[in-house]
Amino acid sequence: MVTFVRDHTGRFQQRPHFKPEELDRECESIITGFLKQLHGDVRYPIDTEDLKNLIERDAEDLDVYADLSVYGADVEGVTEFHPGSKPAVKIASILTEDARRENRLRTTLTHEYGHVHFHSYLWEIEQPPDLLRQQPNRDKIICKRDAMIDAVQTDWMEWQAGYVCGAILMPKSAVLALCCSFAETHGLYGAVSLQTSHGAALIASVVNTFQVSDEAARVRLLKLGLVTQAAATRSLFE
């Protein structure tokens, strides 16, 4: 069950605090249930159109051809909240129009879904009308490129949405299964060092399996404790 703590950012009086394992469970339940309903089974990588369909199911509107330049050149996603109705999601058009940016489109879609699913209700319980006049963008979460995957924890809304991004695209049980198979094949024990060829190969396997960027794969594996930044230690028997 979610717990509430004081919101030190000042946006709300209280804000939800989720443990990583809670986000993992909820996200895996959401995406696997959705895919089974659509296709009868779960396959990876998740199709990009299915990610759009998930947002369209839970949001009032999804615009993947939005001009977000008014918010800044590095803004790639915006979620707008409207008390009494579902939120609206806008994705920068460049991510849709440039096929080379599909991985960024996928992370942005799932990041914004994190806001839709985990944060919408906050605007229902705490939305003083005068604040909107004082802060016109208070009903929006404006998401910059650099915070999509791994925001600082003090920016709790972006950190949670970034974690959701990884947990939707790379559900924990599927990542664990992939890593267990990789470790067994290569005779590895414990977390894999990113400073080794095995670390690079594991990242590549996650990238290929889940259709994500190298950065998204690295961050997800680090957060799950399956890889380490530290240098590999030599075995006592070497």
pLDDT at 226: 95
DSSP classification of residue 41: S
DSSP classification of residue 190: S
Q: Rounded to two decimals, what is the model's pTM?
A: 0.92
The lowest-confidence range among 134-138, 157-161, 168-172, 228-232 is: 134-138
Q: Between 172-186 and 197-210, two packed helices, what is the crossing angle to 10 degrees? A: 140
Distance CA 94, CA 73 (A): 11
Report pLDDT digits (tens) over 37-71.
999 999 999 999 999 999 999 999 999 999 999 99
pLDDT at 107: 98
Residue 195's pLDDT band, with cuts at 50, 70 and 90, is very high
Distance CA 81, CA 89 (A): 9
More confident of the two residues 131 and 181 = 181
**Paired residues of 35 in beta bridges:** none
Put the strands of the sheet holding 75-80 in their side by side order: 61-66, 88-92, 75-80, 140-144
Distance CA 58, CA 219 (A): 27
pLDDT at 236: 30
Q: Rounded to 10 degrees, what is the CA torsion of 55, 84, 147, 77?
A: 60
